[in-house]
A and B are shown apart, each in its own frame.
Chain A
Amino acid sequence: MSAALDPRLSAAIFFARAAQLASRTLKRGGGSTIPGVVARRIDPKILTKLSKRLPLGSAAITGTNGKTTTTHMVGKILQTAGLRAVNNSTGANLVTGVTAAVVRDASLSGKPLSEMGLFEVDEANVPRVAAEAELKILAVLNLFRDQLDRYGELAYTGKVIASAFADLPRAGAVVLNADDPLVASLGGATSNPVFYGVDAPGLDTGRLQHVADSKACPICGTPLDYEAVYMGHIGVYRCPRGDFSRPPLAYRASRVSLEGARGSTFLLKTPKGESEAKITLPGLYNVYNALAAAAVAGEAGVGLDAVVRGISEFGGAFGRVERIKAGDREAFLLLIKNPVGFNEILRTFITDADARNVLIAINDNDADGRDVSWLWDVDFEMLADAGAEDETEISPFTVSGLRANDMAVRLKYADLPVGPVIPDRKEAIKTALEATPPGETLYVLPTYTAMLEIRKALGDMGYTHQFWEDG
C-alpha cells in the first residue's frame, strides 16, 4: 500500500527518530517511550494513521499476569508462519509505548515494515489503545489483584477493559480466559467472544488459594461453586443460582502434564483441529499463556501447524525467569509479582523440584506495590505441610529487601525456618551464593525492583552469563 504524503505524519516520525537517537546518546534509558511522546505531540493522530496501514491489523494483549510472555509467544508463532509483526517492548505498554513501536517500524513517509501490530497493553490503557490502534483482536488473560493501589478495584478494571470492545470492528474478536470468572463475564459485552481454558481435573488443587480477587459470581455476587481450582480463582466454576458458569471453550488444553522446570505438554484443541503441543516454559501459568497465544494467532488466521511449532520453539522473553551462571553455582531468578504467581513458583520449584537454597527479596517501591499485606495471601503453609508429609527438613530461607522483616514474620507464622535476614540486596545475594554448595542452584525470588538490584549486584560480581531467560 503506498501511503499518500502526509507532511505532519512525516515530521512526527522524523522528530521521534531524532528524540530516540538523542535519548540513546545521552544514555538516559527509557528510550522506548520518548519517541512516542514526541510523535504524538506533533501528530496526535499518528497511531491511528500508522495502524491503518498495517495490512493484517493489530492485536492487543492485556491482563495482570503473562502479557509479556504471551505477546512474545504470538510473535514467535507469526514468525513461524512467515509474518512480520511490530511489537512494543516490555515496560512500554502505555499508549505512548505502542505509538513509539509503530513509529519505529515506519519509514519516513509512514509506510510500515511489518504486516501486523502486536501490543501488550496495560489494563488501564486498553480503551485509549483500542480507540486509536484499529485493533482486530483484543485478548484479556486474567485479572488478579496486583495494581490495586493504582487502579482501584478489580471489577472496575474489568469495566474499563470492556468499555474498549465497542471500538473493535464487527468481525473483531475478543479473546477471553474462560477460567477466570471476571474475565469470562466480560464476554457479555461483545458479540464475538472467543474463550480459551484448561480441562485438567488432575490439576485441581482442591482448594481455593486464599486470594480473594474474584471468587464471587460477577452477575449476582454469590460465591461461585468450583468443580476444579487450578490457581488463585482460575478454574472450572458455576454460580449456584445458575445465572453464570464457565463458558464453552473454543481453544482448550487438556491432558496437561507439568514436567517441572522442563516445561509441559498438553493436547491443544482449536476450531481448526487438535494437536499435541509442548512448551519449554515451566508451570501451569505458561500453559495458559500458550493457550492465549494460540487463540490470538488462530483468530488472526494462522494455521494450527504454525501455532504448535511456534509455541514449542518459544524459549522465552526477557524479564521473568533468568538463569545466571555464578562461578560453579547457578542463580535462578524468578520474578515475584503477586500471591498467585508466588504460589505457582513455590509449587513448581520448591515443593515439586525440591529447591534447597532459596533467597526471597521483597521491596515495596511503587513498581513492586507499596502494600506488602499480600504476603499473607501467599500459601507458605503448603511448604510446611509438604515438609511434614515427606518428613523432610526444610532448609531455612534467606530473606532480603526493604521489607525483609515483614517476610521473616510471614515465614515465622507459617512455622518455616527463617535463615539470615539481610535487608541489603547486594549483601544478601553475596551471602546466599556463598552459602550455596558448589554445583547447586540458588533460587532467588525477588519482587521487581529487588530483581533489578540483584541482577546488577550479580553483574558487579562478574556474573553476567545468562544461559536461559524467559518473559
Chain B
Amino acid sequence: MLTIHHLYADMMNLYGDRGNVISIRKRCEWRGIPVEVVDVGLGERVRPTGCDLFLFGGGQDREQALLADDLSGSKGADLRAVVEDGGVVLGVCGGYQLMGHSYLTPEGEKLPGVGIFDLHTEPRKPDEARLIGNVLVDVEAPETAEVRQVVGFENHGGRTYLGDCEPLGRVISGYGNNGKDGTEGARRLNAYGTYLHGSLLPKNPWLTDQLIHSALRREDESFELQPLDDTAERRAFESVSAQLPGHR
C-alpha cells in the first residue's frame, strides 16, 4: 500500500497539481498496487506509514505565509527527517520554494522555509516579468545516470538561487529557477523540487514511475514496476517538446 500525503491539498492546488496526484494513483492502480491519498492540512502532522510519497503543491502568496508558519514547528522538522531518511517528496512551485531556506514575498516579508534544499527565493524586481511558458529540461535519471527530457509549464514571479544543492535538471528551453543560470529545480536524495507544475507527472510518466518505484523500494528492496503502455503520454510529451527549441 502506497500512501500519497497531499500537503495542503485544499489550499495549494493552483495550476492543476491534482494532475500529479491522479497520475501517481492511476499508475499504481493499473498495476494493482493499492493507493491511499491522505490530505494533510494546516495544523495536522505528517504521519509516514513506511511506504510514502509526499506531494507539496503551489499556492498564492497569502497561503504561502500561512504555510510557512505551519511548517515552522515540528511539521517542518518531521519533513526534514523524512527526506534524510530517504523518503520521497515532490515540491512544485510554491511548495518547492518553501522547501528552501527562505522565500521573500513581493511585499518584502521573509518567510522561513523547511530547509530541505540549500536554496533561497527572491521576488521579481519591478522591471522583471513573471517567468511563464513551456519548459524543456534535461534530467539525469538517478539510477541509470541516463539523461532524459522532461516538459512542463512554469509560471512564477520568484527567482530561486541554489546554494550547495544539485539542480533537478538543466534548462533546454524556458527559464527554470531564475532565468539566468540555466538550472531548473533541486534534488537531494529522494526529494525533488521544481517549477514545472500541473501536468508535470502526466506527461513525464518515467518520472512518475521513478517516484513510485523509490517509495515502494523502501518497503521491499527487490520491488520492480511492471511497464505500462505509455503511447498516449508519449504523444502528449512530443506534441509539446517538438515545438520547443533544443528538443531531441
Contact = CB atoms under 8 A, between A and B. Distances in A.
A148 B132 CA distance: 10
Given A153-B60, A216-B63, A221-B65, A408 B232 contact: yes
Interface stretch (B18-26, B45-53, B76-84, B182-190): B18-26
B210 interface: no
Contacts of A372: 153, 198-199
Contacts of B155: 148-149, 371
A153 to B, nearest CB: 5
Nearest to B230: A409
A383 to B, nearest CB: 14
Given A145-B14, A153-B60, A405-B235, A370 B132 contact: yes
B202 A413 contact: yes
A221 B66 contact: yes
Chain A, interface residues (CB within 8 Å), range: 35 or more
A-B CB proximity, top 9 nearest = A373-B198, A376-B19, A373-B16, A376-B16, A212-B13, A405-B236, A221-B66, A405-B235, A405-B239
A373 B133 contact: no
B239 A403 contact: yes
A211 B12 CA distance: 10
B232 A405 contact: yes
Interface string A407-418: 011101111001
B130 A152 contact: yes
A425 to B, nearest CB: 14
Interface string B199-228: 100110000000000000000000000000
Interface of B: 10-19, 22-23, 26, 41-42, 59-63, 65-66, 130, 132-134, 153, 155, 157, 197-199, 202-203, 232-233, 235-236, 238-240
A222 interface: yes
B132 A409 contact: no
Given A148-B14, A216-B11, A413-B19, 14 more contacts: A149-B132, A212-B13, A212-B14, A212-B59, A215-B10, A215-B11, A221-B11, A223-B10, A370-B153, A374-B15, A375-B19, A403-B239, A405-B235, A409-B202
Given A370-B132, A371-B155, A155 B14 contact: no
Given A371-B198, A373-B153, A223 B16 contact: no
Contacts of A153: 60-61
A152 B157 contact: yes
Contacts of B203: 406, 409
Contact of B199 (A375, A408, A414): A375
A373 B232 contact: no
Interface in A135-152: 145, 148-149, 152
A418 B233 CA distance: 13
B147 to A, nearest CB: 23
Given A373-B199, A405-B239, A412-B232, A216 B16 contact: no
A415 to B, nearest CB: 8
Given A215-B10, A408-B235, A221 B63 contact: yes
Nearest to B60: A153
A152 B131 CA distance: 11
Contacts of A402: 239
A210 interface: yes
B153 A371 contact: yes
A412 B30 CA distance: 11
Nearest to A372: B199
Nearest to A414: B22
Contacts of A418: 232
A357 to B, nearest CB: 22
A403 B235 CA distance: 10
Nearest to B134: A370
Contacts of A274: none
In this complex, the member of B14, B26, B157 whose beta carbon has the largest number of chain A beta carbons within 10 angstroms is B14
A315 interface: no
A211 to B, nearest CB: 8
Contacts of B22: 376, 413-414
A259 interface: no
A223 B153 contact: no
Contacts of B153: 370-373
A374 B233 contact: no
Contacts of B199: 372-373, 375-376, 406
Nearest to B27: A413
